[in-house]
Amino acid sequence: MARPSGYGSEVLLAASLDQSSALTTTVITASAHQIVTILSCSLCSTGGNSGVSLKVGADYLIYNIPLSASETFVWNDKVVFQDDTFAVRTHDGNQLIAYVSYILQDWTP
């Protein structure tokens, strides 16, 4: 099935991340003509204790959430952004799995 894109489309999407190093990883990128609404973000520490942060652009939404091994944190506050990125940052080398559901509105001419 073809996915609509371009002027006036709205699509429900999901993105996932599986990382095992201390770094910031961009999960979603929106252009100047796209609006992203984050619906939910599930974070699961599959290794040892983890510290996790959520960012839009350079701004932290949540900073250094403590996650014990095999613990899951669900963040389901809605956030809207445009011409920016949504990223997950781990503060240590433990493995983290993230799953993000979002709506992408594309107004590209």
Q: Is the separation of the CB atoms in 75 and 62 below 8 Å?
A: yes
CATH number at residue 58: 2.60.120.340
Question: How many CA atoms does the CB half-sphere of 107 hold within 13 Å?
Answer: 7
Greater model confidence, 8 or 12: 12
Percentage of the chain modeled with pLDDT above 70:
94
Asked, for residue 109, whether it belongs to a domain, the answer is no
What pLDDT sits at residue 2? 52
Greater model confidence, 6 or 9: 9
Asked, for residue 45, whether it belongs to a domain, the answer is yes
Asked, for residue 3, whether it belongs to a domain, the answer is no
- CA 12/CA 15 separation, integer angstroms: 11
* Residue-range definition of the domain harbouring residue 48: 14-103
Asked, for residue 2, whether it belongs to a domain, the answer is no
What are 54-78's pLDDT values in tens digits?
999 999 999 999 988 889 999 999 9
Asked, for residue 6, whether it belongs to a domain, the answer is no
The count of structural domains within the chain is 1
The pTM (predicted TM-score) of the whole model is 0.87
